[in-house]
């Protein structure tokens, strides 16, 4: 159970880092490499949800809801694993 909890924590951290880096314009090859790594590590979770849950239109902007759905699912899984570990 500890390994599963660690993996879920790592996935959450990768998701949050991807979200934070998406707020900044691309700059420098190092940041592009980090962003590319985060996309590779998280897209397998987000893409299937993105196909089912359409982006939310906010005026002229679009909000990708797949991030929120995956984030909540991982949080629920963390609580389930924590409950099983007791």
Q: Which residues contact 82 (CB under 8 A, 6 or more apart)?
A: 5
pLDDT surpassing 90 at residue 31: no
Mean pLDDT of 42-56: 94
More confident residue, 24 or 40: 40
Could you tell me if residue 81 is left (phi over 0), alpha (psi between -120 and 50 degrees) or otherwise beta? alpha
pTM: 0.86
């Amino acid at each position: 159970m500890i390994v599963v909890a660690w993996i879920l924590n790592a996935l959450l951290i990768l998701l949050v880092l991807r979200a934070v880096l998406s707020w900044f314009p691309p700059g420098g090859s190092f940041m592009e490499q980090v962003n590319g790594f985060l996309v590779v590590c998280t897209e397998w979770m987000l893409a299937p949800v993105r196909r089912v849950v359409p982006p939310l239109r906010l005026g002229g902007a679009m909000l990708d809801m797949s991030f929120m759905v995956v984030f909540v699912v991982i949080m629920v899984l963390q609580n389930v694993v924590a409950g099983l570990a007791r």
